[in-house]
Amino acid sequence: MIDKTLRQLSRALADREISSVELARLFLDRIERLDPQINAYITIDREKTLAQARAADARLAAGKAGPLTGIPLAQKDIFCAEGWRTTCGSKMLGNFVSPYDATVIERFNAAGAVILGKTNMDEFAMGSSTETSYFGVTRNPWDMERVPGGSSGGSAAAVAARLAPAATGTDTGGSIRQPSALCNLTGIKPTYGVVSRYGMIAYASSLDQGGPMARSAEDCALLLDVMAGFDARDSTSLDRPSEDYARALENPLAGLRIGLPKEFFGEGCDSGVMRRVEEAIAEYRRLGAKTVEVALPNMKLAVPAYYVIAPAEASSNLARYDGARYGHRAPAYDDLADMYAKTRAQGFGDEVKRRVLIGTYVLSHGYYDAYYLQAQRVRRRIAEDFAEAFRQCDVIMGPTSPTTAFRIGEKASDPVRMYLSDIYTIAVNLAGLPAMTIPAGFVDGLPVGLQLIGDYFAEARLLNVAHRYQQTTDWHREMPVIG
């Protein structure tokens, strides 16, 4: 059962081959046995999980089941879930038990899905390796000495190791796509505003977007069908008609125009990774697609613009963590100002402090115009570059990550090198576009991801392009040997 797709699991539950309780126990037992060496989960609560599974079995017996009813899913620990400890990978929220559900959790609950547990992540989603978590490093199941990517590294590792059939992630600058690529998964970041951010703990509000991480495009479509939708509680949520994201999966690719940005195929990418990407593009040509060269001239400015805008928004969002209302509070202090200072010094890790300080600096008097406003102008230019490219093509392709998974500790002391791990993914978030990654092969036993970028609201098209490739290749079926 651990190797079945979501659709296969749904069929097995409907046919009474297995109950939701039995399926949940299967994964919980596997987590208990294998997760100590991977550290994919922060919180497991067997009682809550099995209670949800029993409720799902009742729905199945009553004939009121949907495609995800009874299926256990891992939830990134950035989504608030009522009665569950929700830490965001930080000491600051180490004792916080959420009193309400995020909209994403609410939607999965309504669909009858079961929460397996809350997964590890870079603290407040700030990182590309899941090394900044207060709860320890998550290890990549393909090589335990390497990182799984980040910030959604716990979700990626859990699905790769078959400690969950699928998981949620969030993507601020590549945090669904990069860990999915490094762990041989399929992951999609929807158009900004398609998935509600209500109850999703904020890092950079104009960039954050939730999305699914699974083994295949078909599985991601099933998950996105549940996750997406308008939410009046989120002011950035888009009021659009609901979609069936699996509707176009089987459409042929004849005539598809694939844009290849010259900025994605120059220096900076590992030669082995680039070979796998070029082989994947060649497969698309065999499927009937044609390729055209496009340009994204402001791509080189994406990383510096992101690391002005995201820290600026983080410094504002994280100001609420002061010890006065919830979360960590310093045990000893002299007065209110001292409580604030000591609480934040003790509660935040080094990477969070670094980004808050940068963000406060670029928003300060005398620097706002020079840095923040300039970065926003660059952001608009990047969006315009994509708009021009999509006049010439239907989907843009290139590497997801410039390298395969790097060793734990390899980049931890060099923030700039770490930030460049997201060099191919960040521009998408600045423009608010949808993008996904799919498994495209291996280099020295480590997974490589192919990135697909679409125009606004082209999620169904992206899933179709990914699905047709996965019908002719087996990379997404490969599984690491662990335990």
413 has catalytic annotation: no
Cβ proximity of 310 and 355 under 8 Å: yes
**Interatomic CA distance for residues 392 and 172, integer angstroms:** 27
Which of the 8 DSSP states describes residue 191? P
Written as six digits, the tokens of 418 are: 């770490």
**Interatomic CA distance for residues 365 and 382, integer angstroms:** 26
The residues, any chain, with a CB within 8 Å of residue 69's CB and separated by 6 or more, are 10, 13, 20, 56, 59, 60, 111, 112, 113
Q: Among candidates 122, 86, 220, 209, which has minimal Cα distance to 165?
A: 220
Strands (E), 203-274: 210-214, 257-261
421 has catalytic annotation: no
How far are the Cα atoms of 52, 128, 267, 331 from residue 39, in angstroms, in the given order?
24, 16, 34, 28
Cβ proximity of 103 and 198 under 8 Å: yes
216 has catalytic annotation: no
Written as six digits, the tokens of 313 are: 């928004």
Cβ proximity of 231 and 264 under 8 Å: no
> Across the beta sheet with 395-399, what order do the strands follow?
41-43, 114-119, 72-76, 167-170, 210-214, 186-189, 435-443, 446-453, 395-399, 257-261, 290-294
Catalytic residue among 129, 151, 180, 196: 151
Q: Among candidates 351, 352, 327, 356, which has minimal Cα distance to 339?
A: 327
Three-state DSSP state, 437? strand
Catalytic residue among 10, 98, 128, 175: 175
Cα end-to-end span (Å), the chain: 17
- The tally of CA atoms less than 13 A away on the side-chain side of residue 294 is 27
Written as six digits, the tokens of 280 are: 């994947």
Strands (E), 247-377: 257-261, 290-294
**Interatomic CA distance for residues 284 and 288, integer angstroms:** 7
Catalytic residue among 19, 20, 76, 133: 76
Helix%, strand%, coil% for the chain, nearest 5: 40, 15, 45
Cα–chain center distance at 251: 26
Go through 90-126 and write b for each residue having 16 or more CB atoms within 10 A of its CB, e for each that does not: bbbbbebebeebbbbbbbbbebbbbbbbbbbbbbbbb
The residues annotated with a catalytic role in the active site are 76, 151, 175
